[in-house]
């Protein structure tokens, strides 16, 4: 493990341009390899023709060598960019020692595409290179017999860690923490700590502080490395350790922990069980990964994609990933259509209604989405307390009223001018104003209700508001028109 | 500065529950304060009544004391959650020494609301507590005479740094980097480095590595603290320093740098000018802040909010923040309405068209947004190369075709059943399929074109696709119906 890690440190960190250069080289080698294969096929030459085989081999060797020089995260980047066939070819060339690390770095969809093709024995080998907390991240994607084999291969301490890591529910601090940490006692001097550290081959990544524990592993404080470095070596740890540090529990919400990391610019934080015993630590890279994944999941969910989609996935996989959302939209669109259907008599008498009604519905949806976005963000910033609700409704109603009169008034004039009917114009203005008020009310109520129910207000709010403003907009406009004009 | 920082370290880091508790206490103190004020007003008592004044004072003192115990980021959190009047009251009680830090932590909208009320002299005092890189972040919000005063108060080195920091354009590494770093020479032993570090009162935040430079300040390598700590003190720096580290330039894209931080789990990275001279460093907290702000800006932009909105802002400010988007939508909705207007004759003859047309447009928009979300994400992951375009068009067309036949077929049957007209059902199915194909094509083309033009594909794509699928959907459906049914 340690040797592996050291070897990896030696790999050069690439900036974006260099990375894209590597990708181009891989693509180039692949295309030359494919060219040779094509020739072999097309000319119907014996497949074991020596010369071709050598050329073929040479490209593959070059590729293999290239991959050995790359950081696992960079290999993952290249795999993401390759179509399935090339991806599997390149994956076959990745050094077995790196396979576990590379799998960790991949997006879920691409990871699954590779795991599907791997033999159980290879998966076990790849998994065994990982730490317990990393393994726990990978475990949901692995076949259960592989997990069982991995379990059996672990010593009892590691097995306990893995069991613990897998037991924490998604979105908790426990699921993100790792077990790599260095702890010291408070009754020793910094000199002793410095000597103790020299016994290590290297320190765990993101070690910005040492954890000070008593003999029962209960946390007494933390000793930041810079405190260790700037102070007199004869001082005792107890005199310098900080006791006011943020501590987390495995069951804490990862969201709250992430906010604390951002607020206080933390690099690591100790995780304690209920008795105060140090069980692990959370590091900033795990927090960053968590925030990125959460952000991505929200974006996907807003567009109704159930999970991330590998762009090289089959058409059929894509259809399966997207159908639920389309089904939901079909239902809401059908309801809106039936609202219109109820007013068909009015439309027959005044066909202008058909042309004007989508404007009322559309602007209502957009305005409602603005309100929702603003409220979701305010909730995330902690701006929305219990007292704010009434204030928010009042404010959004005010905005809706002004926008309704302003834009609705403009559209009313347009409608009057287009259809030479001032009453139609007035109905347009009235319907716009009412629908914007509906949008404002629902735009505040939906995210606030979802938050109260403990659900993520960013997800699903947008569908609901569009459903309401569509059906509502058609109903209000056609209803007003029927009542006043016909 | 250093003293300030130390004092701050002593402040306890709060978890989310504790933070909310503090907010409640502040609100409680404020409400008691208001109560007293109300009493004074309502009973028309002399305003300087001694007893009331004392009670009043007591709450204010309690509040002030409470604020002194809080981390600037936590004070910012509380200010965000307060309505304008209370916010200004609390802001007046914040220790002047912390004002600069608190301003930095606030969201733009809330920061502006406070800066507006501050006297230039107070602003200068607040600004002077900050480092050059922090000042540069605050500068765009400050009145120019304040900036001038601050400039005059700096020594020439700091002034040069501030000038440099302000010159880098937004979204570049230069705009995010700071100047706080510790550098050492390569020809000394670790022992010398350790002794050198003990001369510091503390190390800059996020010091996970020391920068090894020659006498011209050119970077030779980096010495991670853990390497410093685990190795024999008699070893020379040159033997241990890492030369394969990621280096950035001030003009590099912050996005690329952020991706490298995520890929390699970095805590800090050196920033060099073109000659290789070390000019600053980028730290993970700046990267996290950048990613959060970028993500927020994208979410706001997707809903057409020009900037973040303080939920306690005035109705009028909100109207101003949202009008552009509504105007754009008004235009696209009006165009769609005119497309329908062109077919009024057809709708008069077959009013069912009016009820069915929004379904075609709506599902097209949703499907197009799914495609766009998927492509934007793939672009961000680097999955979309030059060769992928054709493959993507083909795949999305396949998905659209299946969805069109499937859902369009279902809707066709529904239309047939509702209106007893099989030809209407067939037109429905055909129009859905065509509009989904249009959505697929535009859904791939728009983000890819925006990327080629160097613009953020996440912003604005959604408006464009909705505009196309609305007008396009109405045109296709009504056109087919006019051609085949009438």
Closest CB to B242: pick one of A9, A15, A322. A9
* Cβ contacts of A388 on chain B, cutoff 8 Å: 311
- Three-class DSSP category at A83: coil
Q: Do A202 and B12 touch (CB under 8 A)?
A: no
The residue-averaged pLDDT of B283-304 equals 89
A208–B208 C-beta distance less than 8 A:
yes
Nearest CA in chain B to A255: B16
Any chain B CB within 8 A of the CB of A352?
yes
Task: State whether B382 and A305 contact (CB < 8 Å).
Answer: no
Nearest C-alpha of chain A: how many angstroms from B433? 13
- pLDDT at position A289 is 92
Residues within 8 A of B (CB atoms), A 422-451 only: none
Residue-wise pLDDT tens digits, B219-276: 999 999 999 999 999 999 999 999 988 999 999 999 999 989 998 999 999 999 999 9
The answer on pLDDT for B2 being more than 50 is no
Check whether A49 has a pLDDT greater than 70: no
State whether the Cα torsion A353-A354-A356-A360 is positive or negative. Answer: positive
Residues of B in contact with A333 (CB under 8 A): 358-359, 362-363
Top-confidence residue, B307 or B149:
B149
Three-state SS at A95: coil
Residue at token pair 């109820």: A342
Say whether pLDDT at A44 is over 70: no
**Closest residue by Cα to residue A313 from B244, B274, B391:** B391
Interfacial B residues in 128-147 facing A (CB < 8 Å):
none
CATH number of A2-169: 1.25.60.10
Instruction: Quickly state the pLDDT bin for A52 (edges 50, 70, 90).
Output: low
pLDDT the model gives residue B312: 77
Would you say A325 and A304 are in contact if contact means Cβ atoms under 8 Å apart? Answer: yes
Mean pLDDT of B401-406: 94
Looking at residue B8, its pLDDT comes to 39
Contact A69/B at CB under 8 A: no
Q: Determine whether the interchain pair B198/A392 forms a contact, defined as Cβ–Cβ distance below 8 Å.
A: no
CB-based contact, B13 to chain A, within 8 Å: yes
Q: How confident is the model at residue A147 (pLDDT cuts 50, 70, 90)?
A: confident
Q: What is the pLDDT of residue A38?
A: 64
Cα A282 → chain centroid:
18
Q: What is the pLDDT of residue B43?
A: 56
Reading the block at residue A224, the tokens are 């930041």
DSSP 8-state class, residue A96:
G
Per-residue model confidence (pLDDT) at position B44: 52
Q: What is the pLDDT of residue A250?
A: 94
Chain A contact set for B265 (CB, 8 A): 205-206, 285
Q: Give the CA dihedral B21, A373, A375, B105, nearest 10 degrees.
A: 40
Residue B40's pLDDT is: 57
Average pLDDT over residues B119-129: 89
Q: Is A7 exposed, middle or buried (0-12, 13-18, 19+ CB in 10 A)?
A: exposed
Contacts of A71 in chain B (CB under 8 A): 263-264
Superfamily of domain covering A183-302: CBS-domain (3.10.580.10)
CB contacts < 8 Å between A and B, how many? 370
Q: Cα(A321)–Cα(A311) distance, rounded to whole angstroms? A: 12
**pLDDT value at residue A140:** 84
Whole-number pLDDT of residue B5: 41
pLDDT at A7 over 90: no
Query: Mean per-residue pLDDT for B142-158?
Result: 87
What percentage of chain B has pLDDT greater than the value 90?
50
Q: CA-CA distance, B143 to B122, in Å (whole number)?
A: 12
- Name the 3-class secondary structure at A155: coil
| pLDDT confidence of residue B469 | 95
The per-residue pLDDT for range A409-445, each reduced to its tens digit, is: 999 999 999 999 999 999 999 999 999 999 999 999 9
Average pLDDT over residues B128-134: 87
> Of the CATH numbers 3.40.50.300, 1.10.3720.10, 1.10.357.20, 3.40.50.920, which one belongs to the domain with range B315-485?
1.10.357.20
Rank A48-57, A383-392, B85-94 by mean pLDDT and report only the highest: B85-94
Confidence of residue A50 (pLDDT cuts 50, 70, 90): low
What confidence score (pLDDT) does residue A200 get?
A: 94
Comparing A441 with A83, the larger pLDDT belongs to A441
Q: How far is CA A318 from the centre of its chain?
A: 19
Contact A263 B373 (CB under 8 A): no
Please answer yes or no on whether A229 and B74 come within 8 Å at the CB atom: no
B291 inside 8 A of chain A by CB: yes
pLDDT at A231 over 70: yes
Q: Please report, for chain B, the start and end positions of each structural domain, with discontinuous segments joined by +.
A: 2-117, 183-302, 315-485
CB of B120 within 8 Å of a chain A CB? The answer is no
Nearest to B412 by CA among B370, B345, B482, B359: B359
Cβ atoms < 10 Å from Cβ of B120: 12
**ipTM of the complex in this document:** 0.86
Which of A226, A301, A341, A460 would you mutate first to test chain B, the one with the most B CBs within 10 A?
A226
The pLDDT value given to residue A478: 96
Q: Which of A9, A319, A395 sits opposite B399 (nearest CB)?
A: A319
- Residue B88, chain A, CB below 8 Å: the answer is no
Is A326's CB within 8 Å of B20's CB? no
For A119, phi then psi, to 5°, come to: -70, 145
- Consecutive H or E run containing A314: none
pLDDT at site B25 = 83
Q: Is A420 exposed, middle or buried (0-12, 13-18, 19+ CB in 10 A)?
A: exposed
Indicate if the pLDDT at residue A2 is higher than 50: no
For residue B409, what pLDDT is reported?
Answer: 95
Q: Of A333-347, B155-169, B397-411, which gets the smallest average pLDDT? A: B155-169
Instruction: Give the pLDDT confidence score for residue A268 in this predicted structure.
Output: 96
- Residue B323 backbone dihedrals phi, psi, to 5 degrees: -70, -35
Read off the pLDDT of each residue in B405-430 and give the average, rounded to a whole number. 95
Range of weakest confidence among B54-68, B264-278, B327-341, B417-431 = B54-68
- In the predicted model, is pLDDT for residue A41 greater than 70? no
- The residue of B79, B272, B307, B333 whose CB has the most chain A CBs within 10 angstroms, and thus the best one to mutate to test that interface, is B333
Would the pLDDT of B376 be above 70? yes
Give the pLDDT confidence of A182-213 residue by residue, as tens digits.
999 999 999 999 999 999 999 999 999 999 99
Q: Average pLDDT, whole number, for chain B?
A: 87
Q: Indicate yes or no: CB of A407 within 8 angstroms of CB of B15.
A: no
- Is pLDDT of B339 > 90? yes
What is the per-residue pLDDT across A248-265, written as a single tens digit (0 to 9) for each? 999 999 999 998 999 899
Sign of CA dihedral B334, B338, B339, B344: positive
| Chain A contact set for B305 (CB, 8 A) | 370, 373-374
User: What is residue A211's three-state secondary structure?
Assistant: strand
């Amino acid at each position: 493990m340690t040797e592996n890690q050291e070897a990896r440190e030696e790999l050069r960190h690439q900036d974006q341009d260099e990375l894209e250069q590597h990708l181009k080289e891989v693509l180039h080698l692949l295309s030359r390899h494919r060219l040779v294969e094509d020739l072999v096929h097309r000319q119907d030459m014996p497949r074991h023709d020596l010369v071709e085989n050598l050329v073929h081999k040479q490209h593959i060797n070059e590729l293999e060598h290239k991959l050995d020089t790359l950081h696992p995260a960079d290999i993952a980047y290249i795999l993401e960019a390759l179509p399935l066939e090339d991806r599997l070819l390149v994956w076959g060339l990745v050094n077995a020692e790196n396979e576990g690390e590379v799998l960790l770095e991949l997006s879920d969809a691409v990871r699954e595409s590779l795991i599907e093709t791997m033999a159980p024995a290879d998966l076990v080998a790849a998994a065994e290179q990982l730490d317990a907390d990393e393994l726990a991240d990978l475990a949901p994607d692995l076949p259960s017999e592989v997990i069982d084999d991995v379990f059996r291969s672990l010593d009892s301490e590691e097995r306990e860690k893995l069991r613990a890591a897998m037991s924490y529910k998604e979105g908790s601090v426990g699921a993100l923490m790792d077990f790599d940490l260095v702890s010291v006692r408070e009754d020793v001097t910094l000199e002793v700590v410095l000597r103790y550290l020299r016994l290590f081959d290297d320190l765990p990544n993101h070690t910005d502080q040492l954890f000070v524990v008593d003999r029962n592993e209960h946390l007494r404080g933390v000793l930041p490395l810079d405190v260790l470095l700037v102070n007199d070596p004869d001082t005792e740890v107890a005199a310098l350790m900080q006791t006011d540090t943020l501590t987390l529990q495995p069951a804490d919400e990862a969201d709250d922990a992430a906010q604390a990391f951002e607020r206080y610019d933390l690099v690591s934080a100790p995780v304690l069980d209920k008795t105060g015993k140090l069980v692990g630590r959370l590091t900033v890279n795990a927090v960053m990964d968590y925030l990125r994944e959460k952000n991505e999941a929200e974006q996907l969910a807003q567009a109704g994609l159930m999970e991330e989609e590998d762009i090289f996935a089959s058409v059929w996989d894509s259809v399966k990933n997207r159908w639920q959302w389309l089904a939901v939209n079909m239902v809401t669109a059908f309801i809106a259509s039936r609202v219109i259907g109820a007013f068909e008599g009015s439309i027959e008498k005044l066909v202008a209604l058909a042309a004007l009604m989508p404007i009322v519905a559309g602007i209502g949806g957009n305005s409602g989405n603005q309100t929702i976005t603003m409220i979701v963000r305010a909730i995330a910033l902690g701006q929305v307390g219990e007292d704010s609700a009434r204030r928010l409704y009042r404010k959004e109603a005010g905005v809706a009223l002004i926008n309704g009169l302003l834009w609705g008034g403009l559209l009313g004039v347009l409608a009057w001018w287009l259809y030479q009917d001032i009453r139609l114009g007035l109905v347009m203005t009235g319907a716009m104003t009412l629908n914007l008020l509906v949008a404002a009310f629902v735009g505040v109520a939906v995210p606030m209700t979802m938050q109260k129910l403990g659900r993520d207000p960013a997800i699903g709010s947008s569908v609901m508001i569009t459903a309401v403003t569509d059906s509502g907009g058609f109903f209000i406009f056609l209803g007003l028109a029927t009542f006043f004009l016909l």
